Structure 1
Amino acid sequence: MALIKSVRGFTPRFGGNLFLADNAVIIGDVVVGNDCSIWFNTVLRGDVNTIRIGNRVNIQDGSIIHTLYEKSTVEIGDDVSISHNVVIHGAKIENGVLIGINAVILDHVVVGKGALIAAGSVVLSGTKVEAGTVYGGIPAKFIKKITPEQAEGINRKIAKNYLMYAEWYKSH
């Protein structure tokens, strides 16, 4: 069973049709929307500030989401896929974003709608990733623009698959 822990008077809150892996950890001031999945070894640590997660978000294995005390929060929009071993620290992720495996998103970053962050990238504090773009590298830089249809096609496939995977676990 997932570890759900209250801290400083805040208890995590969850929408409907949620999959929480057995060893996921959700602490403090965290609100998760509907149709989300939070996978194995994932930590959402809302102990020092708020974490808000929209609908149809999948946060894959080993990812960590945290904030800075009194200085940054995490906001994740709808239809977002956060791949394995991603770190998001005090950033805003808008709707329809895909964050690749092992990416790091630092404080006060804003990732625009439909953007893709390449695997292994480090998005430095304060970076504004434009909507409909691909950023990659260390530090992450603009690579190219993509159409809304390209971004939606890639992310919709992943999001749909993760809803299916979550059902596999819920049915057993």
Structure 2
Amino acid sequence: MADFSIIPFNGKTPRIDPSAFIAPGCRIIGDVEIGPEASIWYNCVLRGDVNFIRVGARTNIQDGSVIHCDSGHGTGGGYPTIIGDDVLIGHLAMVHGTLLKDRSFVGLGAITMDGTVIESGGMIAAGGMLTPGKTIGANELWTGRPAKLMRVLTDEQVAGNMMGVEGYRILARAHKAENAARLG
């Protein structure tokens, strides 16, 4: 018996690759797809009720994060949340109506708002707030509230972020095994 909730909404049921790790306490609702070896950590909420959410392969969404999407409030298609492959989303982040391209990074407690984009290798620093419609370019580091460009990351820093993704992929396997043994 799982310690997380997979909740259909409006005729859509979340689809989760069997190799993904979904930690106890998570709530995954509606039109959500989670890719291979992705990890959704303890007490995250992914709510695809007014638009859709996609999470790519090997992406990790760390403890307490909230992922939602935008309906457009009757004005159009709104903004889904699309998270690419090998993305790292830090603890307590809030990602709303955002496109996170492959290998992007969202720092601890950061907020991304409707219509924002983080290009490959781009990063919003811990505590940053990316306001609606802004784009973080490839390998750029943005910080602050509201977030602004701080500098371009070095190749070594981008590689370091990818080491974090790999570390979480390995850690997720261990947590998945421990939870499977515990839950029988």
For the Cα contact (< 8 Å) 1:114–1:148, is it kept in 2? no
SS at match of 1:8: coil
The corresponding residue for 1:167 is: 173
Comparing 6-15 and 157-166, the one that deviates more: 157-166
| Match of residue 8, structure 1, among 4, 7, 10 | 10
Q: Does 1:56 align with 2:58?
A: yes
How do residues 132-147 of structure 1 correspond to structure 2 at under 5 angstroms?
132-147=139-154
One-letter amino acid matched to 2:150: I
Q: Does 1:73 align with 2:75?
A: no
Q: Does 1:20 align with 2:27?
A: no
| Match of residue 156, structure 1, among 148, 162, 166 | 162
Runs of 4+ in 1 over 3 A off after TM superposition: none
TM-score relative to the length of structure 1:
0.96
> Number of residues paired by the alignment?
171
One-letter amino acid matched to 1:103: A
The corresponding residue for 1:47 is: 49
One-letter amino acid matched to 1:107: D
One-letter amino acid matched to 2:120: K
SS at match of 1:171: helix
Deviation at 1:170, TM superposition (A): 2.0
SS at match of 1:29: strand
Deviation at 1:30, TM superposition (A): 0.4
| Structure 1 vs Structure 2 CA RMSD | 1.1
The corresponding residue for 2:102 is: 95
Query: How far, CA to CA, are the matches of 2:164 and 2:143 in structure 1?
Result: 19
Query: How far, CA to CA, are the matches of 2:28 and 2:70 in structure 1?
Result: 17
Q: Which runs of 5+ in 1 are unaligned?
A: none
Percent identity, aligned pairs only, is 39
SS at match of 2:49: strand
Could you give the per-residue CA deviations for residues 128-171 of structure 1, whole angstroms, max 9, x where no partner exists? 111110000010000101244531x1222111111122122222
Comparing 141-150 and 105-114, the one that deviates more: 141-150
One-letter amino acid matched to 1:81: L
